[in-house]
Structure 1
Amino acid sequence: MLTATMAALSPSALRFRHALRKPEAAQAECLTRVLGAVGGTAQADRVAGFGRIRTAREFQDAVPVSTPDALAADVERIARGEARVLTREPVLRFELSGGSSGASKPVPITRGLLGEFQSALAPMLHEVLLRRPAVREGPSYWSISPLGREQHRTSGGIPVGSAEDSAWFPRPLQPLLSRVFAVPGAVGQAPHVETCRYVTLWFLVRCANLSLISVWNPSFLTLLLDALERHGDRLVEDLEQGTLRPPGHVEGLGPSAWDALVRGLQGTRDVPRARVLRAVLREGLSSARPLWPGLALLSMWTDAQAAHAVAAACQRFEGVEVQGKGLLATEGVITLPLFEAPAPVLAVRSHFLEFADPERPAARPLLAHELTVGRTHAVLLSTSGGLLRYRLGDLVRVEGFVHATPCLRFMGRADAVTDLVGEKLSAARAGTVLDAALGTPRPVFAMLAPEWGSPPAYRLFLETDAPDARLEATAVAVERALGEGHHYRYARELGQLGPVRAVRVTHGARRYEARCIHLGQRAGNIKPVDLHREPGWTDWFARGTP
């Protein structure tokens, strides 16, 4: 089966490898495709001379940089059922992206956009199967779409969310991949995260020859193993008895919904695997290797904020190789990992990409073939899904090249955004939340900042005489408001983030300035902020007056 999969992936992988030698030509083809997808739409009508654009320079001169907020009205028109708003193709579905303002942003998915994703995902999967033959020895676990995802439709009847993770891969591959995925994609549709985790583990523990685990944030894997330790005894009983009894699974679920999800899963006993799991639990789950002795590769984010969580995620998988993921957003794929590359390589056949200088925002962005090693850039994305010169909000640094194509390491968010585990909390969103929660006038000092911990969480630092009960109520209000953002709420549901806690401080402004200077800022340039991206403020404020 995997031989057939590799054969199906090979043509795309060969085209990608060839394009790495000629990135300028590959990107020119991407631009032509994007222009064709957008021509004849309401978006194109707003750009003078759109139909005459042929080159990258003409494109940059004619089309302004866009943001999620700038597209909101067009996305709403699409959601109501209007055609030819951003693209000529119909929108197949929406996927939710956090965006820089913290609110959920529906991203329109078209067949052309899926094709662009597949131009990167197919070579990426082919690379793993070709370079790491041990991965071909058993099924894989891929966590692509969120757990506990609820599907619905817009007022115009467009679905929100994909039904199966395999839907992101080329259509001919989907039946093959569905058969080699260790956990069916439908498991993620249960509305409760703990239910999803339990059923996921029910499948994974049964899969003795699991060869690959692919997740996004490493903390996702840590929490999954924590759930295995927490519910291990129940899983042993389910394996022995041929039952499936996720804790709390009936809450919020009608019998028909649950029956539809778990149909066919009951009645299959696996006593040998129950014995293995019991033995592993007896050792305190210090290692998961006895459960999956053939596990050959862990794929996860390893850059920027995610780097903090890699060691904990790998602790129970001693000796298993870790491959860092490339930069992939809901809006598009920027890079993909190659084993011999110094960093993930540009997905040069997928979308048209520009690279802006964050220090000189007015300067003309560079193109892929113009990049040089050591420079950091903000990514602008143009896709067949209708995004034109879209400011993605991510910073990348050029680490080297594969042939003539740049390798880019993700450095974090370009805008004032904290992103510990994928929650994407922006300063603008934090300011809006604090204005609503604190009222007028505000305390003399108020600031949100992240803190690493188990799990990491945000702290609300306040200089005020209000009683402790009032501080706690304010923290609850801030937490509730932040939870209106899709990615923050999802991180909280997964347990990747803890709740906001209030911390009373004294001499807030002075001590804030002192630490900013300690971090390297000049005193004259220091400004108060609603959201500071650096952790460590709790310890700093606890030290006393500087």
Structure 2
Amino acid sequence: MAASSVLLGGLHAALAPSALRFHRALRDPEAAQTECLSRVLRATAGSQQAARIPGFERVRTAREFQDAVPMVTPDSVAPDVERIAAGEARVLTREPVMRFEPSGGSSGASKLVPMTQGLLDEFQRALAPMLFELLHHRPVLRTGPSYWSISPMGRKQGTTAGGIPVGSVEDSAYFARALRPLLSRVFAVPGAVGALPDVERCRYVTLWHLVSREDLVLISVWNPSFLTLLMDALERHGEQLAEDLERGTCRPPDADEVRGVLARMRFSPRPERAAALRSALRHGLEARELWPRLSLLSMWTDAQAAHAVPSACRRFSGVEVQGKGLLATEGVVTVPLFDAPAPVLAVRSHFFEFIDAEHPDVRPRLAHELERGRTYTVLLSTSGGLLRYRLGDLVRVEGFRHATPCLRFLGRADAVCDLVGEKLSATRVAAVLDAMLPSFFGGVRPDFAMLAPEWQPGPPAYRLFLDTAAPDSRLAEAAAVVERALLEGHHYRYARELGQLGPVLAVRVSEGVRRYEARCIALGQRAGDIKPMDLHRQPGWSAHFSGVAA
């Protein structure tokens, strides 16, 4: 414990200068954003992208940038990404691409995001203040190790045809190189766990390391259901884990296939921790019995993730929960602060613009022009070469920290399902499910509830997947009420009246969260990044949940 305290005290001091610059910038977001734009322009100058933009070399101000540079989407950037992957240089920026990171890919296969040193530096301008905030305002977090979920869980690394690596080994790769050895020494779970080839074995080895640490103080995950599934695995494998802790062994499923990875980690006998685990298993697996000093859970708490928070916290009574900011593979949008009304804009990281949701055709606003209570979609420009990139995230201004807006993530602005012209949006589906489902299931939504399209004999239709023990009649009633609410939308009603779309039907599922995760991984997502969704645009869920190959 003393060693962790010394190391974390040093980390706190090392992060302080970046945090101070960040907090100063909150007082003048216009100046901070001007500096960010200048950095983005310098990174892009001399690239193929810059050569395609008439007058790019004369752009200096935000208004000139908006007039000269078109907005882009992931699809429109894809040809440039393919050229980089094939080995072509100076495509989006002058800097070489160090690696690609797969994006979340929430409705299909992942996209590759090019990572340059300039982009990593921009991540650091947000992540360093975020980590400092934790250590400074919650001093207990300086007294023991933390668990930060490892992004590559269940995903293999590789290289592109041009020899560029795909995927990082662990989350510390986003921090400054000088800090990584220090971070690796205060993480409860070694980064080598990320080299395990599948989620189940990765969870088992992760749990061995977590249970072995009585002094664990922080658990940081992205999706709250990730934590739920981790604790479910602890209950499922608890007795074998206790035996392994007692003996100093580690036997995940099919252990012989991963001996090489396991050999890179230490597993020494921990009989006292085996006894603690057995006691916790007898008493309902209350986390505080295993980790008496655990003080903070960090996870997504906004938009659709909010539905998964109660289940994730069920075994963590008395532990503080902090919502994460909005962080995408392409860049950081907001940073959580304990005393702010919502996560604050990462004003020193990238150049941001905001499209007014009610007036999408007017010139996008800049950070210092946002208004409290209004909703916007985010445009991002980074030193990694993404210029005026439609991130697809919808945010609402909840207030300000000094002069910088605090933004609540509302969901995906581009999440619209349109099989036959019905134009069904995720925000509309979320509102309907939130309003309608609790009255059928004891005042709460089922742990897993999702609407998704199905191509089928006859007209396509939506299925309402529900993980619940309620009788079939109750599921059918819920589907009928959801259908009536969706019919209030003009496009959906018109598609139904024309017979182009069938009615919503309910489908009972079991272990919905776990099986949802399994298919999302098969679709190309990282386990740690998977978000619960009220509306999933990918068909084939009926076959998946029934065990039939889609």
What is the TM-score normalised by the length of structure 1?
0.80
Work out whether residues 139 and 210 of structure 1, in 8 Å CA contact, stay in contact via their aligned partners in 2. yes
CA 1:180–1:224: 2 relative to 1, 3 Å: same
CA 1:383–1:460: 2 relative to 1, 3 Å: closer
Query: Partner of 2:532 in structure 1?
Result: none
Query: Partner of 1:302 in structure 2?
Result: 301
Query: Partner of 1:395 in structure 2?
Result: 394
User: C-alpha displacement at 1:388, in angstroms?
Assistant: 0.2
User: C-alpha displacement at 1:513, in angstroms?
Assistant: 6.8
User: C-alpha displacement at 1:515, in angstroms?
Assistant: 2.5
Given candidates 226, 245, 266, the residue that maps to 1:239 is 245
Secondary structure at the aligned position of 2:408 is classed as strand
Number of residues of Structure 1 aligned to a counterpart in Structure 2: 467
Provide the C-alpha distance between the structure 2 equivalents of 1:164 and 1:462, rounded to a whole number of angstroms.
38
Query: Partner of 1:277 in structure 2?
Result: 277
Query: Partner of 2:9 in structure 1?
Result: 3
CA 1:288–1:511: 2 relative to 1, 3 Å: closer
Secondary structure at the aligned position of 1:343 is classed as coil
Return 5+ residue gaps in structure 2 as ranges: 1-6, 422-432, 438-444, 469-474, 497-502, 509-550
Work out whether residues 45 and 93 of structure 2, in 8 Å CA contact, stay in contact via their aligned partners in 1. yes
Provide the C-alpha distance between the structure 2 equivalents of 1:180 and 1:21, rounded to a whole number of angstroms.
33
Secondary structure at the aligned position of 2:255 is classed as coil
Code of the residue aligned with 1:302 in structure 2: it is T
Work out whether residues 26 and 402 of structure 2, in 8 Å CA contact, stay in contact via their aligned partners in 1. yes
Secondary structure at the aligned position of 2:60 is classed as coil
Which is worse superposed, 457-466 or 358-367? Answer: 457-466
Query: Partner of 1:37 in structure 2?
Result: 43
User: C-alpha displacement at 1:361, in angstroms?
Assistant: 2.3
Query: Partner of 1:156 in structure 2?
Result: 162
User: C-alpha displacement at 1:8, in angstroms?
Assistant: 0.8
User: C-alpha displacement at 1:179, in angstroms?
Assistant: 0.1
Query: Partner of 1:416 in structure 2?
Result: 415
Code of the residue aligned with 1:281 in structure 2: it is L
CA 1:373–1:454: 2 relative to 1, 3 Å: closer
User: C-alpha displacement at 1:260, in angstroms?
Assistant: 2.9
Confirm or deny that 1:113 pairs with 2:106: no
Work out whether residues 228 and 312 of structure 2, in 8 Å CA contact, stay in contact via their aligned partners in 1. yes
Provide the C-alpha distance between the structure 1 equivalents of 2:95 and 2:20, rounded to a whole number of angstroms.
28
Code of the residue aligned with 2:183 in structure 1: it is L
CA 1:234–1:101: 2 relative to 1, 3 Å: closer
CA 1:192–1:453: 2 relative to 1, 3 Å: farther
CA 1:203–1:324: 2 relative to 1, 3 Å: same
Provide the C-alpha distance between the structure 1 equivalents of 2:207 and 2:71, rounded to a whole number of angstroms.
44
CA 1:458–1:406: 2 relative to 1, 3 Å: same
Map residues 244-263 of structure 1 onto 2, 5 A cutoff.
244-250=250-256, 253=257, 258-263=258-263
Provide the C-alpha distance between the structure 1 equivalents of 2:267 and 2:487, rounded to a whole number of angstroms.
64
Work out whether residues 100 and 415 of structure 1, in 8 Å CA contact, stay in contact via their aligned partners in 2. no
User: C-alpha displacement at 1:146, in angstroms?
Assistant: 3.4
RMSD of the TM alignment (CA)? 3.1
User: C-alpha displacement at 1:462, in angstroms?
Assistant: 7.2
Work out whether residues 80 and 91 of structure 2, in 8 Å CA contact, stay in contact via their aligned partners in 1. yes
CA 1:284–1:119: 2 relative to 1, 3 Å: same
User: C-alpha displacement at 1:144, in angstroms?
Assistant: 4.6
Provide the C-alpha distance between the structure 2 equivalents of 1:227 and 1:188, rounded to a whole number of angstroms.
17
User: C-alpha displacement at 1:416, in angstroms?
Assistant: 2.4
CA 1:370–1:240: 2 relative to 1, 3 Å: same
CA 1:207–1:526: 2 relative to 1, 3 Å: same
Query: Partner of 1:514 in structure 2?
Result: 484
User: C-alpha displacement at 1:265, in angstroms?
Assistant: 3.8
CA 1:221–1:135: 2 relative to 1, 3 Å: same
CA 1:15–1:465: 2 relative to 1, 3 Å: closer
Confirm or deny that 1:407 pairs with 2:406: yes
CA 1:14–1:247: 2 relative to 1, 3 Å: same
CA 1:372–1:260: 2 relative to 1, 3 Å: same
Confirm or deny that 1:375 pairs with 2:381: no
Provide the C-alpha distance between the structure 2 equivalents of 1:247 and 1:152, rounded to a whole number of angstroms.
24
* Deviation readout 1:418-445 (Å, 9 max, x if unpaired): xxxxxxxxx26x789xxxxxxxxxxxxx
Query: Partner of 1:366 in structure 2?
Result: 365
Code of the residue aligned with 2:247 in structure 1: it is Q
* Deviation readout 1:94-153 (Å, 9 max, x if unpaired): 001145763311000000000000000000000000000111110000015131121000
User: C-alpha displacement at 1:461, in angstroms?
Assistant: 5.8
Secondary structure at the aligned position of 1:274 is classed as helix
Code of the residue aligned with 1:390 in structure 2: it is Y
Code of the residue aligned with 1:174 in structure 2: it is R
Query: Partner of 2:102 in structure 1?
Result: 96
Return 5+ residue gaps in structure 1 as ranges: 418-426, 433-448, 479-495, 499-504, 530-535, 542-546
Query: Partner of 1:443 in structure 2?
Result: none
Work out whether residues 218 and 295 of structure 2, in 8 Å CA contact, stay in contact via their aligned partners in 1. yes
Confirm or deny that 1:207 pairs with 2:177: no
Which is worse superposed, 83-92 or 184-193? Answer: 184-193
Code of the residue aligned with 2:400 in structure 1: it is F
Aligned-residue sequence identity (percent) comes to 64
Provide the C-alpha distance between the structure 2 equivalents of 1:528 and 1:52, rounded to a whole number of angstroms.
50
Provide the C-alpha distance between the structure 2 equivalents of 1:149 and 1:413, rounded to a whole number of angstroms.
24
Provide the C-alpha distance between the structure 1 equivalents of 2:92 and 2:338, rounded to a whole number of angstroms.
37
User: C-alpha displacement at 1:288, in angstroms?
Assistant: 1.2
Secondary structure at the aligned position of 1:289 is classed as helix
Work out whether residues 242 and 267 of structure 1, in 8 Å CA contact, stay in contact via their aligned partners in 2. yes
What is the TM-score normalised by the length of structure 2?
0.79
Code of the residue aligned with 1:279 in structure 2: it is S
Work out whether residues 192 and 264 of structure 2, in 8 Å CA contact, stay in contact via their aligned partners in 1. no
Given candidates 38, 44, 56, the residue that maps to 1:50 is 56
CA 1:245–1:375: 2 relative to 1, 3 Å: same
Provide the C-alpha distance between the structure 1 equivalents of 2:42 and 2:487, rounded to a whole number of angstroms.
51
CA 1:524–1:68: 2 relative to 1, 3 Å: closer
Map residues 435-450 of structure 1 onto 2, 5 A cutoff.
none
